[in-house]
Structure 1
Amino acid sequence: MYDGEFAEIYDLVHAGRGKDYAREATSVAALVRERCPQADSLLDVACGTGAHLQEFALKFTHVAGLELIADMASIATRRVPDAQIAVGDMRDFALGRRFAAITCMFSSIGHLADQDELDAAFACFAAHTEPGGVCVVEPWWFPEAFLDGYVSADVVRSGDRSIARVSHSVEKEGVAVMDVHYVLADPAGGVRHLAEQHHITLHPREAYEAAAESAGYRVRYLEGGPSGRGLFVATLPAVS
């Protein structure tokens, strides 16, 4: 998942589908500074290829990333060479420092399987958050908002390369099972097909809130967000 050629085409596909990393980073940075005006360091968990992190680096003096997939982390390192990019699991990581802001974008947290894994992740987030700092998490769809059987289709062109992406998502026992197929075409490689399957848990809103609160955060859910799935904005109380 997200390794090899999938990592290479990731940015092309999502940019072509209209994802605006700069706008999203600006909005998230504003949310952070509303609650922590002095915030000047940020850790982006599940940073992927570093597209958000690149934008955050324009807004925070110190930025770092955590990414599970080594191929994605390698791209992020090239994209944001001054950032510390660590390969690791959001459920169990230790970077040896705290940050004023923690972010986990693009519904990456939905790949966690259950409440125990959500609790573990938020505990790690809190362990890396400065007192008075902020954690912003973009969830996956809540169960009641998920569209069972949803189909999406896009064609992306970049130079002489074309990529068609089609996906189909169904609910199975509280998990969104998403089959994604790509047809790639370019002059050198001709036409070829790639396929992947994602299992993304339909955690209820209350599960995220319980995980954040158990980690010591004060959490608020904001409607909307970058992808319509909302944002959890959690603050860690300052030391009195």
Structure 2
Amino acid sequence: MYGADSARFYEAQHTARGKDYRAEAEVVAEHVLRLRPGASSVLDVACGTGGHLDPFGELIGHVEGVDLSEPMLAIARHKHPGVALHLGDMRDFRLGRVFDVVTCLFASIGYVRSAAELDRTLACLARHTAEGGVVAVEPWWFPQTYLDRWVSADTVKWEDTTVARVAHTVRDGDASRMEVHYLEATPEGGVRHLTEVHRAMLFTRERYEEGFRRAGLEPRYVPEVLSGRGLFLGVRPGR
């Protein structure tokens, strides 16, 4: 998942297209701070190349990140040299401390492979959340909102690299399967073709909420925010 080439393409695509990490962080912070006024620490799980780290640091306070991909973390470390970034699997990592807010954004939760793994992941996020703290999760699409056979395409220029990306997503049982093709062109290397496949689970809203409750979190759902998929918030009971 997200090797060196994928990490570079990920950063190029979202940087060149102007993904508004700040606006997304503001939405999350607004809802989180209503539930946990005075929150001062954030753990961003599946942080990728770290686009949300600086905004969360400014909006909430101390911030750290976790990701399964070392190449993604390498980019994040270069961009955020003062931030603690940890290599770890969102299903079962152990940092030995808790945070006021734990986030998992950009539908990364969809990469779990089953409902059991969803429960493991939410339990892991809850373990790293302080009493009275909040877990914020951006889901992948629900079965009824997912659009089958979706095609997307774009071309971006980033530094000395041009990347063309074409993706096709189809229903695959209880998940979606996205096949992505890249054409990368550089002055020195010419043109390369790379392909990757992303499979994301299509859980219902009710199954997400069940998973939050199993993790000991009190769930609520904010519809339509972020990329239109909404945002789940789970409060860990306590002070």
Report matched runs for 1:126-137 at 5 Å.
126-137=126-137
**Corresponding position: 1:103 with 2:103:** yes
* Correspondences of 1:137-216 after superposition (within 5 Å): 137-216=137-216
Deviation at 1:18, TM superposition (A): 4.0
Question: Where do 1:44-123 residues align within 5 Å?
Answer: 44-123=44-123
Q: TM-score, normalised by structure 1?
A: 0.95
| Alpha-carbon distance in 2 for matches of 1:161, 1:90 | 31
Shift in Å, 1:8 = 1.4
Contact (CA 8 Å) 1:42, 1:100: kept in 2 or not?
yes
Q: Distance in 2 between matches of 1:87 and 1:10?
A: 18
Amino acid at match of 1:48: G
Verify the 8 A CA contact 1:138 1:225 in the aligned structure 2. no
Q: Tell me, in whole angstroms, the C-alpha distance in 2 between the residues paired with 1:4 and 1:107.
A: 21
Gaps in structure 1 of 5+ consecutive residues: none
Shift of 1:234: 1.2
Query: Which segment drifts farther, 137-146 or 73-82?
Result: 73-82
Answer with 173-182 or 75-84: which moved more: 75-84
- Structure 1 equivalent of residue 29 of structure 2: 29
AA at the equivalent of 2:218: R
Task: Tell me which stretches of 4 or more aligned residues in structure 1 moved more than 6 Å.
Answer: none
CA RMSD across the alignment: 1.2
Measure the CA separation in 2 of the matches of 1:12 and 1:225: 24
* TM-score, normalization by structure 2: 0.96
Q: Is the 8 A contact 1:17 1:154 kept in 2?
A: no
SS state of the match for residue 131, structure 1? strand
Letter of the 2:70 counterpart: A
Corresponding residue pairs, total: 239
Give the distance between the partners of 1:57 and 1:9, measured in 2 at CA.
25
Provide the rounded CA distance (Å) in 1 between the counterparts of 2:85 and 2:219: 27
* Partner of residue 217, structure 1: 217
